[in-house]
């Protein structure tokens, strides 16, 4: 699994350089407009040249992007990759060999640069030449490797070029079944974030095409944009899945939601359906049922492969620069072969998926979002700065993060200890799923907000603020203080905070601190944190009259030190519910005047001891505190 964890980082690195391809596609599409009519006769050629040059320098872009993606944007790795590519191009051009830089070569040099940086970034040399140690050694090392590699490639190039074309012929000989296998594997690898690796092979390496200018281009995607009429077989079949199948699943989830939750689910999944239809970003919908019905995801992967087989047999050839969404469909339609057939196929696909998923959700009682109170994937884009510190705590704090990157739909983390990650808290904070890949590599799926979340988490890490983070003191549901049926707590006269409706008779400590007071009836307890916060936990409303161990039993005493999750009080849930006004259990800070700002997780179901339910930032005059 550690190997898979390393691959997911490589997959993310492959995605980084692809962000420039939409620009090439847009330029090429705009070049088809009648610019002469508006008095700009040279504009079409300028746009076409801008598109062409991106593909010419695509190997350099991949080398730079992959090296930066593997190293967290280390500049020395980026410089090394560009120097390596320059050496390769210089040597092969000087030898007058019929060798052109390809995306494969760029990827290889990018990987070597990234790996070299990780290997030598802490290299120590003798003091008199230490200037060339550490990261500065990486460009030198990669330059030497590129020199040797380029000399070697001069002898291997003819054979390699022949093998690339042959590999394309072998794959093509598989016909529709080969396309089906690609489609099936592609969807399965989406789960692990590794689909960019297999796509890279088919999109940028397999198959060759000689342009009118005599230049050879390799891979389904460059061949498509170069005008190869046979290119697009590994892209066309993705359009019906992303534009129609995933939106159909979203509508099925909406229609099977509970009536009381349907308005919220409708808003969330209409956005998810629109994102899939327009841009081809599918994970927000796929992860909504992946973890609760993995067998249904396998069916989805098989159907996706089957759709690709159908488009291949019908002679449909279409391509994209980013993903198979409606935007790419329209921009690149002028290059497609029988591309219009994708629309009627998509309508059939939509109907099949919609009926299948509505039947499966009902037949197997699949707990998709909206069918239970704990449904996730809520719409909370505006709360990202508000929740980022809580997400950071659920991951284990800044001390647990070794590396943090993001792609379109997920945070890609390498952590010191993935066992301390609070999955329940992350789901409560909006994560669609958490995937552990081994070796400390973890993915947290937040949909298209992932990059914004990463940025806010980085701000939280670097911001010098005294912050105290709270865990849930009970198992149950968190509610606002306003909902507590007591004017003293609801009016925040005792202090500010949150409350809980417990469904288990155990109260645990939400913070690290010292027990400073236990009320004689043991229905309430006070804790002082190292930062000076005084936290009051009060079990139920109007429970001070309930005395005796048959109601409450404290398992700690005044003066004890406690950690988050430590058991404080056991109580008879049924008796307290029956003989009190309410089970609402406030958790308030009685000296709220030292608090600068407050953050709360969504008011949803929580587990006992779950992290990231509340966070407070202390005023600067107090100092200290747990810092993020």
Which residue is listed with tokens 């396998």? 298
- Check whether 241 has a pLDDT greater than 60: yes
Q: For position 622, what pLDDT does the model report?
A: 42
Tokens coding 67:
């090296």
Residue 445 in 3-state DSSP?
strand
Pick from 260-264, 308-312, 353-357, 604-608: least confident:
260-264
Q: Residue 252: is its pLDDT beyond 80?
A: yes
Enter the pTM of the model.
0.60
Mean pLDDT of 187-215: 75
Distance CA 345, CA 244 (A): 9
**Tokens 């504009």, residue located:** 43
Quote the CA–CA distance of 449 and 456 in Å, as a whole number.
11
Do the beta carbons of residue 111 and residue 71 sit within 8 Å? no
Q: Where in the chain is the domain with CATH 2.70.70.10?
A: 468-618
Residue 193 has a pLDDT of 62
Question: Given pLDDT bands bounded at 50, 70 and 90, which one contains residue 554?
Answer: very high
pLDDT above 50 for 378: no
- The DSSP code sequence of 556-574 is S-TT-EE-TT-EEEEE-HH
Q: pLDDT tens, 410-446?
A: 788 888 888 889 888 888 787 877 888 777 888 888 7
Mean pLDDT value across residues 400-405: 83
The pLDDT value recorded for residue 237 is 93
Query: 522 or 259, which is more confident?
Result: 522
Candidate from 110-119, 177-186, 192-201, 290-299 with smallest mean pLDDT:
192-201
Long-range contacts of 36-43 (CB under 8 A, 24+ apart): none
Could you tell me the pLDDT band of residue 392, with boundaries at 50, 70 and 90? confident
∠ at Cα 147 (146, 149), nearest 5°?
Answer: 60
* Cα dihedral 73, 74, 79, 82 sign: negative
Residue with tokens 């994209």: 320
Determine the pLDDT at residue 12. 65
Of the ranges 108-122, 125-139, 380-394, 448-462, which is most confident?
Answer: 108-122
- Average pLDDT value over all residues in the chain: 83
- Residue with the larger pLDDT of the pair 9 and 561: 561
In 3D, which of 382, 435, 394 has the Cα closest to residue 412? 435
* 52-107 residue pLDDT tens: 888 888 889 889 988 988 887 888 999 999 999 999 888 887 776 556 677 778 88
Residue 172 vs residue 33, higher pLDDT: 33
Residue 557 has pLDDT above 90, yes or no: yes
The catalytic position among 85, 272, 316, 407 is 407
407 is catalytic: yes
3-state secondary structure of 500: strand
Has residue 400 got a pLDDT over 50?
yes
- What is the arithmetic mean of pLDDT over 133-160? 85
pLDDT at 73: 80
| Confidence label for 162 from pLDDT (cuts 50, 70 and 90) | low
| Res. 303 pLDDT band, cuts 50 70 90 | very high
Q: What angle do CA 169, 173, 174 make, to 5 degrees?
A: 125
Instruction: Report whether 23 contacts 55 (CB < 8 A).
Output: no
CATH code reported for the domain at 468-618:
2.70.70.10
Question: Could you tell me what percent of the chain has a pLDDT over 70?
Answer: 88
In terms of Cα–Cα distance, which of 238, 235, 214 is closest to 335?
235
User: How many angstroms separate the CA atoms of 158 and 99, rounded?
Assistant: 8
Average confidence (pLDDT) over 164-186: 76
Closest CA to 388 of 350, 335, 426, 442: 426
Pinpoint the residues of the chain covered by CATH 3.30.1360.60.
383-464
Distance CA 553, CA 521 (A): 9
CATH fit for domain 383-464, picks 3.90.1280.10, 3.40.640.10, 3.10.270.10, 3.30.1360.60:
3.30.1360.60
Confidence of residue 7 (pLDDT cuts 50, 70, 90): low
Per-residue exposure over 489-512, b if at least 16 CB sit within 10 Å of its own CB, e if not: bbeeebbebbbbbbeebbbbbbbb
In this structure, the dihedral spanned by the alpha carbons of residues 307, 308, 312 and 314, taken in order and rounded to 10 degrees, is: 20
The distance from CA 410 to its chain's CA centroid, rounded to whole angstroms, is 0
Task: Please name the residue that has the structure tokens 């990827």.
Answer: 107
Q: How far is CA 241 from CA 198, 294, 627, in A?
A: 18, 18, 45
Least confident of 112-121, 157-166, 218-227, 313-322: 157-166
| pLDDT average, residue stretch 181-208 | 77
Q: Once rounded to an integer, what is the mean pLDDT over residues 351-380?
A: 75
Q: Is the predicted pLDDT of residue 526 greater than 90, yes or no?
A: yes
Reported as type and span, the H/E element at residue 586 is strand 585-589
Confidence tier at 516 by pLDDT (50, 70, 90): very high
Secondary structure (DSSP) of 253-272: HHHTS-TTTHHHHHHHHHHH
Identify which has the larger pLDDT, 529 or 182: 529
């Amino acid at each position: 699994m550690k190997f898979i964890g390393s691959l997911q980082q490589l997959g993310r690195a492959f995605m980084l350089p692809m962000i420039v391809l939409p620009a090439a596609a847009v330029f090429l599409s705009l070049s088809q407009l009648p610019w002469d009519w508006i008095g700009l006769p040279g504009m079409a050629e300028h746009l076409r040249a801008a598109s062409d040059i991106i593909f010419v320098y695509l190997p350099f872009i991949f080398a730079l992007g992959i090296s930066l993606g593997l190293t967290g944007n280390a500049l020395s790795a980026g410089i090394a990759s560009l120097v390596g590519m320059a050496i390769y191009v210089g040597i092969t051009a000087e030898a007058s060999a019929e060798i052109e830089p390809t995306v494969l070569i760029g990827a290889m040099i990018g990987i070597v640069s990234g790996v070299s940086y990780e290997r030598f970034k802490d290299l120590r040399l003798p003091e008199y030449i230490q200037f060339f140690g550490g990261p500065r050694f990486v460009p030198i090392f990669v330059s030497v490797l590129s020199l040797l590699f380029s000399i070697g490639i001069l002898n291997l190039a003819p054979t390699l070029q022949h093998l690339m074309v042959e590999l394309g012929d072998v794959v093509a000989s598989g016909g529709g079944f080969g396309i089906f296998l690609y489609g099936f594997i592609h969807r399965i690898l989406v789960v692990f974030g590794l689909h960019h690796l297999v796509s890279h092979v088919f999109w940028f390496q397999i198959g060759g095409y000689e342009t009118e200018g005599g230049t050879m281009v390799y891979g389904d995607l460059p061949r498509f944009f170069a005008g190869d009429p046979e290119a697009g077989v590994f892209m066309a079949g993705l359009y019906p899945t992303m534009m129609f199948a995933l939106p159909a699943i979203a509508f099925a989830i909406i229609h099977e939601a509970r009536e009381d939750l349907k308005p919220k689910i409708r808003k969330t999944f209409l956005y998810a359906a629109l994102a899939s239809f327009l841009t081809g970003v599918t994970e927000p919908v796929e992860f909504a049922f992946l973890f609760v019905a993995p067998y249904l995801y396998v069916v989805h992967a098989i159907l996706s492969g089957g759709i690709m087989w159908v488009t291949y047999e019908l002679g449909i050839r279409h391509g994209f620069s980013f993903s198979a969404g409606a935007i790419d469909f329209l921009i690149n339609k002028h290059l497609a072969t029988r591309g219009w057939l994708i629309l009627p196929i998509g309508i059939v696909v939509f109907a099949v998926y919609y009926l299948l998923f509505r039947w499966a959700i009902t037949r197997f009682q699949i707990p998709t979002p909206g069918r239970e109170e704990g449904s996730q994937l809520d719409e909370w884009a505006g709360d990202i700065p508000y929740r980022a510190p809580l997400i950071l705590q659920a991951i284990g704090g800044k001390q647990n993060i070794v590396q943090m990157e993001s792609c379109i739909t997920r945070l890609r983390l390498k952590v010191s200890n993935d066992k301390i990650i609070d999955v329940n808290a992350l789901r409560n904070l909006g994560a669609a799923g958490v995937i552990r890949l081994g070796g400390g590599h973890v993915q947290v799926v937040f949909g298209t907000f992932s990059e914004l979340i990463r940025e806010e988490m980085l701000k939280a890490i670097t911001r010098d603020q005294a912050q105290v983070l709270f865990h849930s003191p009970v198992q149950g549901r968190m509610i606002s203080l306003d909902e507590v049926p007591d004017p003293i707590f609801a009016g925040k006269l005792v202090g500010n905070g949150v409350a809980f409706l417990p469904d288990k008779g155990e109260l645990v400590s939400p913070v690290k601190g010292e027990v400073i007071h236990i009320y004689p009836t043991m229905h309430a307890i006070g804790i002082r944190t190292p930062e000076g916060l005084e936290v009051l936990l009060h079990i139920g409303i109007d429970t001070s009259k309930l005395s005796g161990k048959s109601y409450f039993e404290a398992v700690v005493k005044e003066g004890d030190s406690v950690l988050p999750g430590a058991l404080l009080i056991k109580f008879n849930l049924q008796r307290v519910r029956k003989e009190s006004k309410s089970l609402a259990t406030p958790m308030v800070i009685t000296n709220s005047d030292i608090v600068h700002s407050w953050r709360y997780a969504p008011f949803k179901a929580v587990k006992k001891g779950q992290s990231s339910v509340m966070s407070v930032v202390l005023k600067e005059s107090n100092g200290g505190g747990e810092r993020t």
